[in-house]
């Protein structure tokens, strides 16, 4: 056996007497139903049956004795398998023992170290007047209007309205967009656009090349080069709305600007507390995984890597990007998830072990509450959601997730959490 990993190889042997007993039993069952020329049904002698159906009888014996022997060996060695045992090196000689090898992965033994009163330090959940001001400015930005200007060229801060046609250097299909607004000189605007549109007049055309960085947010453009033709159809400036009662009522249920500030502060404080809680949970799991060394099953790591890659694909699809059209080495990207996948698996195994040690369980009432929450979100009845989870085999996974979350809450309540002043950008 390879103790440094969760892979187990067991050389097993079933005594010849037990094999012979099983062979005889199976042969008698064959004899009862076999049709042999010259014999009435069920009257053919067993030795003849054993000779004529030797391979079939051996197959039946293998299917019955091998799983039983593997189960017995696992119980004798206190092993909990997580993969289906693969059987090879079968030695099934006549009148002898049945020998074979079983290869599988098991849950590791997790010896718990310190997990109580973990020392955690996180940013204080604090909201300043500057935070509120910034949030209000963001709302004003989103509610801004655009006014046309004339009689001058495009300047920094202006929004050039352009009809854009781009041809990729790799010979792919061209892109075309009419009436888009380019914020000239803005931090988020690529320099090539600002440099070529600055100083342009309405009605003027420009031709220029753009090299998109590899980390560009739009996956369809990231790392690619385009030749653009841009027709400037207008120049606009952004006008922010006044911060007054009319604005407060338009963007919220507040009646005054001061009431709007209060609601924004409450929302920011709730968000800050959520981030702090997430930071505490993340640090708890990091401290636990770093302080506990044990092997993790490769099968669980592979499953976690697949799950992480699947979330990436779903995220791209949600953005309207066809993952098959993205120039990404998916095999390499999947492999890069390995370290985090190992930590994920370690974390889940540790939480399960701690939950067992502290007798943390999920009640049926808590399960029903979660199903009710899922039902409310999906617009279906609780009975329908429960039936769907059961059919998909996801009910146990949901219970396991609830148990892990409950254990994390327990760990947080027993941790020594210190706060520090957050860094302000």
Give the CA radius of gyration of the chain.
34
What CATH number does residue 195 fall under? Answer: 3.10.50.40
In this prediction, residue 47 carries a pLDDT of 80
Residue 92 shares a structural domain with residue 74? yes
In this prediction, residue 171 carries a pLDDT of 80
Last residue of a domain, one of 221, 239, 257: 239
Q: Does residue 279 fall inside a structural domain?
A: yes
Distance (Å, rounded) from C-alpha 257 to C-alpha 28?
Answer: 91
- Burial of 422 (C-beta count, 10 Å sphere; 0-12/13-18/19+): middle
Residue 262 shares a structural domain with residue 392? yes
Given a cut of 90, is residue 324 above it in pLDDT? no
Percent of the chain predicted with pLDDT > 90: 68
Distance (Å, rounded) from C-alpha 311 to C-alpha 299?
Answer: 19
Range in 28-32, 38-42, 177-181, 271-275 with the lowest mean pLDDT:
38-42
Distance (Å, rounded) from C-alpha 216 to C-alpha 278?
Answer: 28
Residue 384 shares a structural domain with residue 275? yes
Residue 184 shares a structural domain with residue 62? no
Q: Does residue 209 fall inside a structural domain?
A: yes
CA-to-CA dists, residue 127 to 49, 270, 371, 419, angstroms: 85, 10, 34, 14
Residue 93 shares a structural domain with residue 197? no
CA-to-CA dists, residue 237 to 153, 199, 205, angstroms: 12, 15, 20
Distance (Å, rounded) from C-alpha 403 to C-alpha 337?
Answer: 25
Q: Does residue 134 fall inside a structural domain?
A: no
What CATH number does residue 101 fall under? Answer: 3.30.70.1050
The string of pLDDT tens digits covering residues 82-112 is 999 999 999 988 888 999 999 999 999 899 9
| DSSP assignment of 270-295 | HHHHHHHHHHHHHHHHHHHHHH----
Residue 235 shares a structural domain with residue 285? no
Q: Does residue 403 fall inside a structural domain?
A: yes
DSSP bridge pairs for 147: 237
Q: Does residue 121 fall inside a structural domain?
A: no
What CATH number does residue 352 fall under? Answer: 1.10.3120.10
240-265 in b/e form (b: 16+ CB < 10 A) is eeebeeebbeebeebeebeebbeebb
Q: Does residue 324 fall inside a structural domain?
A: yes
Given a cut of 50, is residue 156 above it in pLDDT? yes
Residue 413 shares a structural domain with residue 277? yes
Residue 388 shares a structural domain with residue 262? yes
Question: Number of structural domains, the chain?
Answer: 3
Given a cut of 60, is residue 425 above it in pLDDT? no
Q: Does residue 361 fall inside a structural domain?
A: yes
Residue 395 shares a structural domain with residue 255? yes
Residue 99 shares a structural domain with residue 26? yes
Residue 224 shares a structural domain with residue 322? no
What mean pLDDT is reported for the chain?
A: 90
Last residue of a domain, one of 50, 84, 105: 105
Distance (Å, rounded) from C-alpha 177 to C-alpha 172?
Answer: 16
Q: Does residue 117 fall inside a structural domain?
A: no
The string of pLDDT tens digits covering residues 262-305 is 999 999 999 999 999 999 999 999 999 999 999 999 999 999 99
Last residue of a domain, one of 239, 267, 295: 239
Given a cut of 70, is residue 424 above it in pLDDT? no
| CA dihedral over 150, 154, 155, 158, signed as positive or negative | positive
Residue among 232, 253, 236 at smallest CA distance from 145:
236
Given a cut of 60, is residue 1 above it in pLDDT? no
* Cβ neighbours of residue 332 closer than 8 Å, sequence gap 6 or more: none
Q: State the residue range of the domain holding 160.
A: 145-239
- In this prediction the pTM is 0.69
Residue 216 shares a structural domain with residue 292? no
> Beta 416-420 vs 119-123: how paired, if at all?
parallel
Residue among 408, 316, 306 at smallest CA distance from 355:
408
In this prediction, residue 2 carries a pLDDT of 39
The string of pLDDT tens digits covering residues 217-254 is 887 788 889 999 999 999 999 999 999 999 999 999 99
The string of pLDDT tens digits covering residues 117-152 is 899 998 888 899 999 999 999 999 999 999 999 999
């Amino acid at each position: 056996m390879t103790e440094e990993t969760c892979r187990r190889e067991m050389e097993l042997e079933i005594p010849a007497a037990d094999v012979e007993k099983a062979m005889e039993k199976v042969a008698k069952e064959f004899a009862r139903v076999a049709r042999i020329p010259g014999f009435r049904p069920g009257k053919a002698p067993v030795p003849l049956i054993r000779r004529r159906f030797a391979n079939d009888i051996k197959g039946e014996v293998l299917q019955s004795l091998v799983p039983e022997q593997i189960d017995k060996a696992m119980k004798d060695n206190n092993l909990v398998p997580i993969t289906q045992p693969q059987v090879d090196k079968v030695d099934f000689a006549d009148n002898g023992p049945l020998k074979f090898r079983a290869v599988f992965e098991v849950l590791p033994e997790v010896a718990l170290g310190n997990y109580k009163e973990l020392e955690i330090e996180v940013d204080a959940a604090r909201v300043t007047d500057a935070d509120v001001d910034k949030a209000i400015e963001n709302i004003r930005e989103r509610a801004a209007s655009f006014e046309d200007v004339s009689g001058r060229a495009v300047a920094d801060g202006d929004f050039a309205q352009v009809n854009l046609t781009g041809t990729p250097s790799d010979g792919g299909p061209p892109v075309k967009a009419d009436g888009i607004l380019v914020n000239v000189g803005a931090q988020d605007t690529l320099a090539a656009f600002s440099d070529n549109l600055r100083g342009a007049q309405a009605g003027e055309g420009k031709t220029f090349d753009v090299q998109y960085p590899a980390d560009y947010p739009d996956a369809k453009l990231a790392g690619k080069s385009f030749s653009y033709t841009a027709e400037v159809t207008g120049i606009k400036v952004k006008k922010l709305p006044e911060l007054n009662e009319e604005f407060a009522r338009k963007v919220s249920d507040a009646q005054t600007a001061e009431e709007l500030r209060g609601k924004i502060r409450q929302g920011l404080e709730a968000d800050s507390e959520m981030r702090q809680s997430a930071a505490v949970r993340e640090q708890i799991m990091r401290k636990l995984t770093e302080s506990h060394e044990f092997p993790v099953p490769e099968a669980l790591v592979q499953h976690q890597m697949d799950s992480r890659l699947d979330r990436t694909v779903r995220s791209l699809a949600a953005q309207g990007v066809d993952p098959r059209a993205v120039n990404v080495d998916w095999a390499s990207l999947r492999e890069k998830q390995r370290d985090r996948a190992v930590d994920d698996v370690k974390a889940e195994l540790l939480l399960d072990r701690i939950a067992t040690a502290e007798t943390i369980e999920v009640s049926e009432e808590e399960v029903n509450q979660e199903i009710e929450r899922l039902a409310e979100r999906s617009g279906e009845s609780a009975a329908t959601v429960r039936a769907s989870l059961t059919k998909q085999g996801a009910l146990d996974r949901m219970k396991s997730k609830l148990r892990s979350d409950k254990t994390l809450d327990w760990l947080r309540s027993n941790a020594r959490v210190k706060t520090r002043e957050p860094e302000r950008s």
